[in-house]
Amino acid sequence: MRYTLLTFCSTILFLFMHQDPLLAQSLAINTDGSAADNSALLDVKSSTKGILVPRTSSVTRLAIINPAKGLMVYDTTTSSFWFFDALSWKEMAISNNVWSILGNAGTDSNANFIGTTDAQPLRFRLNNFWAGEMNPYSGNYLLGDSAGQALNGGLYNTGLGSRALTRLTSGYWNTGLGFGALNSNTSKNSNTGLGAFALYKNTTGQWNTATGVDALFYNTSGYYNTANGVYALFSNTTGDHNTAIGNEAMYANTTGVLNTAVGFGALHSNLASGYNTAIGASAMGLHTNGSLNTAVGQYALGFDTSGNANTAVGTSALSSNTNGNYNTAAGYNSLVNNITGLYNTALGYNAGTNVGTFNNTISIGNTTYLNASSNQAFFGGTSTTWNGGNVTWSTYSDERVKKDIMADVKGIDFINRLRPVTYYRDIHAMTKLTGNKETGDYPGKYDIEKIKFSGFLAQDVVKAAADAGYDFSGVTRPRNEHELYTLSYESFVVPMVKAMQEQQAMIVSLQHELQQVRSQNKSPEVNKTTDMPGLEKKIAALEKRLSGLEK
DSSP annotation string for 478-498: -SSTT---EE-GGGGHHHHHH
59 in the same domain as 47: no
Range of the domain at 224: 138-254
- Residue 182 and residue 198 in contact, taking contact as beta carbons nearer than 8 Å: yes
Q: Choose one of 62, 93, 124: the last residue of a domain.
A: 93
**For helices 532-550 and 493-521, what crossing angle results, to 10°?**
160
In a domain, 412, yes or no: no
- In this prediction the pTM is 0.75
62 in the same domain as 41: no
Spell out the residues 6+ positions from residue 397 whose beta carbon is closer than 8 angstroms to its own. none
In a domain, 275, yes or no: yes
In a domain, 392, yes or no: no
Structural domain count, the chain: 6
Query: What tens-digit pLDDT sequence spans the chain (551 residues)?
Result: 333 444 444 555 555 455 554 445 678 888 888 888 888 888 888 888 888 999 999 999 999 999 999 999 999 998 999 999 999 999 886 655 677 778 888 888 888 888 888 889 999 999 999 999 999 999 999 999 999 999 988 999 999 999 999 999 999 999 999 999 999 999 999 999 999 999 999 999 999 999 999 999 999 999 999 999 999 999 999 999 999 999 999 999 999 999 999 999 999 999 999 999 999 999 999 999 999 999 999 999 999 999 999 999 999 999 999 999 999 999 999 999 999 999 999 999 999 999 999 999 999 999 988 999 999 999 998 899 999 889 988 898 999 999 999 999 999 999 999 999 999 999 999 888 888 888 888 899 999 999 999 999 999 999 999 999 999 999 999 988 889 999 999 999 999 999 999 888 888 888 888 888 788 777 877 676 666 677 677 778 877 777 776 66
Phi then psi for residue 550, to 5 deg, are -70, -30
In a domain, 127, yes or no: no
In a domain, 179, yes or no: yes
- Residue 180 and residue 197 in contact, taking contact as beta carbons nearer than 8 Å: yes
Decide: helix, strand or coil at residue 39: coil
153 in the same domain as 83: no
76 in the same domain as 42: no
83 in the same domain as 34: no
In a domain, 114, yes or no: no
Question: Whole-angstrom Cα distance, residue 364 to residue 351?
Answer: 6
Q: Choose one of 254, 273, 293: the last residue of a domain.
A: 254
Nearest of 85, 63, 60, 87 to residue 75 by alpha carbon: 60
376 in the same domain as 264: yes
The neighbour count for residue 529, using CB atoms within 10 Å, is: 7
Question: Whole-angstrom Cα distance, residue 444 to residue 136?
Answer: 76
Decide: helix, strand or coil at residue 414: helix
In a domain, 231, yes or no: yes
In a domain, 236, yes or no: yes
Burial class of residue 270 in the structure, from the number of CB atoms within 10 Å of its CB (0-12 exposed, 13-18 middle, 19+ buried): buried
225 in the same domain as 199: yes
349 in the same domain as 275: yes
Question: Whole-angstrom Cα distance, residue 457 to residue 164?
Answer: 79
292 in the same domain as 203: no
